[in-house]
Amino acid sequence: MAGKLKIHIDQDKCQGHARCKALAPELFELDEFGNAHETGDGSVPAGLEDKAWLAKANCPEIAIEVTEE
Amino acid sequence: MPEHPPVTDWVHDFDHTDPHWTENPYPIWDELRAASPVVHTDRFLGCYMPTTYEAVREIAHDTTHFSSRRVIVRDVRPPITNTAPPITSDPPEHKPAKQLLLPPFTPDAMKKLEPRVRAICNELIDEFIAEGKCDAAARYTKHIPVRAIAHMLGIPEKDSDQFIKWIHEILELGIKDDATMMRAVQEMTGYFHGHIEARKKNPTDDLITTMMNARDKSGQPLSDGHVLGSLRLLLIAGIDTTWSAIGASLWHLAKTPADRERLIAEPELMPTAIEELLRAYAPVTMAREVMKDTVISGCPVKSGNMVLLSFPSANRDPAMFPDADKVVIDRKENRHAAFGLGIHRCVGSNLARMEMTVAIEEWLKRIPDFGLDPASQVRWSEGTVRGPRQLPVLFGKSA
């Protein structure tokens, strides 16, 4: 099994499509304008790895980075 | 209205108002995409169309060479008088204008509106379910978004027929008929002006009030022109776009019993199904105006032309979506461009998704079996927004 995942949203790219929040509500939150931020420091709790990859694969702006620590 | 000659050479002389395109654009887009990532027509005073996802994405993200000041490809390019910020805005004016409109349209805000939309859907179904059949476009899909946006704006839902007439005149007839378009815009402006005046005497709690109370960076109220333009945008963009998306979804489900039965058996598939229906039948094509010469996907693009920025064609690009021509209701990876890409991402995307979900859920709850009425025809709209305007269906297993 690979290492822990960490997610990061590039704020210059995010346009508020909110796909990540719909697919992985535990990993993302929206600000008052509907733009997304990673929850906490972006660490993906065990068991939510698939959701992190799914969110990345559905972001129309390719704004989500997922890295393995 | 000036009629256009029929198209005989789609690659070099395309026309999105041609009846063949209106009826079934998908094979035409395939032909154009096979020919080039960017094609050109001399019609509409010169117009390009990016055919691939990549070319559409490049243009949508390029606010240096492309302007949003004209958002419909038309026969004429009159001086710009009636703007609709932020959709017609370019940077740097775009961001502050858009930020005013974003908070009322977040997913959380839409959750609060959802019960009203669910009620609207059931009120509509009550009116025709006993008849055993209906024109689903005329009696169902058409009314849901217009009533929802009227509810948000704080204008009477009973004025819906008037709104629908204006939208038809602006987005369809207006492509070829400037006088009709200008008259509709002026009538709509006058309508909102009346509501603004009324709120000065009796303040309310709705989107019109939100715009009237908004302040720019220097603390000043927005100009009347800005407020009226944004209100026109919300009404124009809030109506036949989602009407079309719901209608195309019901059209698909009417002729695809396997998908219908699966959605009923596995309701947890609804979110991915909605995204897939948005991808496959994306209703909205926007425009850009080329301001400076550039190159897109290796193709030279010259200033002075318009761009038919077809998000629907991008969504059918097999280089981006495996089995792009198939509707796969559990498609996992779906970066579709139905709501645009880049800074002009549709402000109402969360509203549209909620309306589509609720409209289809409520329909399937009460009319689980239905099919296209073989005795009548489906009719599609023309131009900027594509969706069924006539959708005759029969209810029941025998349909």
User: Is the minimum CB–CB distance between A61 and chain B shorter than 8 Å?
Assistant: yes
User: B306-309 and B47-50: which strand pairing?
Assistant: parallel
Whole-number mean pLDDT of chain B? Answer: 95
Identity of the amino acid at B334: N
Q: Are B147 and B118 in contact (CB under 8 A)?
A: no
User: A5-9 and A64-68: which strand pairing?
Assistant: antiparallel
Tens of pLDDT, residue by residue over B279-309, are 999 999 999 999 999 999 999 999 999 999 9
Q: What local confidence, expressed as pLDDT, does residue B238 receive?
A: 86
pLDDT band at B21 (very low <50, low <70, confident <90, very high): very high
Instruction: Please compute the mean of the pLDDT values over residues A34-60 and round it to a whole number.
Output: 97
Task: Tell me how far apart the alpha carbons of residues B43 and B151 are, in angstroms, rounded to a whole number.
Answer: 39
Tokens of B90: 């370019």
| Preceding peptide of B79 cis, ω within 30° | no
Tokens of B380: 């599609």
Helix (H) or strand (E) holding B135: strand B133-135
Contacting residues of A for B337, CB less than 8 Å apart: 60
**Is the predicted pLDDT of residue B1 greater than 60, yes or no?**
no
How many Å lie between the alpha carbon of A15 and the closest alpha carbon of chain B? 6
Q: What local confidence, expressed as pLDDT, does residue B29 receive?
A: 98
Task: Tell me how far apart the alpha carbons of residues B37 and B299 are, in angstroms, rounded to a whole number.
Answer: 8
Instruction: Please compute the mean of the pLDDT values over residues B348-373 and round it to a whole number.
Output: 98
Tens of pLDDT, residue by residue over A15-35, are 999 999 999 999 999 999 999
Scanning the structure block, which residue is given the tokens 């740097």?
Answer: B92
Decide which of B399 and B28 is more confident.
B28
pTM of the model: 0.95
| Preceding peptide of B107 cis, ω within 30° | no
Residue B261 contacts by C-beta under 8 Å, 6 or more apart in sequence? none
Q: What local confidence, expressed as pLDDT, does residue B341 receive?
A: 98
**Is the predicted pLDDT of residue B364 greater than 70, yes or no?**
yes
Task: Tell me how far apart the alpha carbons of residues B312 and B170 are, in angstroms, rounded to a whole number.
Answer: 20
Scanning the structure block, which residue is given the tokens 């709509």?
Answer: B188
pLDDT band at B82 (very low <50, low <70, confident <90, very high): confident
Instruction: Please compute the mean of the pLDDT values over residues B186-191 and round it to a whole number.
Output: 95
Distances (CA, A) of B2 to B35, B185, B205: 29, 20, 44
Helix (H) or strand (E) holding B261: helix B257-265
CA nearest A25 in B: which residue?
A: B107
Tens of pLDDT, residue by residue over B204-232, are 999 999 999 999 888 899 998 999 999 99
User: Is the minimum CB–CB distance between A21 and chain B shorter than 8 Å?
Assistant: yes
Contacting residues of B for A22, CB less than 8 Å apart: 107, 271
pLDDT band at B398 (very low <50, low <70, confident <90, very high): low
How many Å lie between the alpha carbon of B102 and the closest alpha carbon of chain A? 5
Helices (H) and strands (E) in chain A, counts: 2, 4
Alpha helices in A1-69 (DSSP H): 19-23, 49-58
Q: What local confidence, expressed as pLDDT, does residue B44 receive?
A: 97
Q: What local confidence, expressed as pLDDT, does residue B39 receive?
A: 98
Q: State whether B349 and A15 contact (CB < 8 Å).
A: no
**Is the predicted pLDDT of residue B399 greater than 80, yes or no?**
no
Under DSSP, the state recorded for B284 is B
Instruction: Please compute the mean of the pLDDT values over residues B29-48 and round it to a whole number.
Output: 98
Closest CA to B385 of B320, B338, B326, B353: B338
Task: Tell me how far apart the alpha carbons of residues B395 and B177 are, in angstroms, rounded to a whole number.
Answer: 39
Q: State whether B271 and A22 contact (CB < 8 Å).
A: yes
**Is the predicted pLDDT of residue B382 greater than 90, yes or no?**
no
pLDDT band at B2 (very low <50, low <70, confident <90, very high): low
How many Å lie between the alpha carbon of A49 and the closest alpha carbon of chain B? 15
Q: What local confidence, expressed as pLDDT, does residue A3 receive?
A: 75
Q: What local confidence, expressed as pLDDT, does residue B358 receive?
A: 98
Q: State whether B349 and A18 contact (CB < 8 Å).
A: yes
Tokens of B116: 């009203």
Contacting residues of A for B107, CB less than 8 Å apart: 18, 21-22, 30, 34
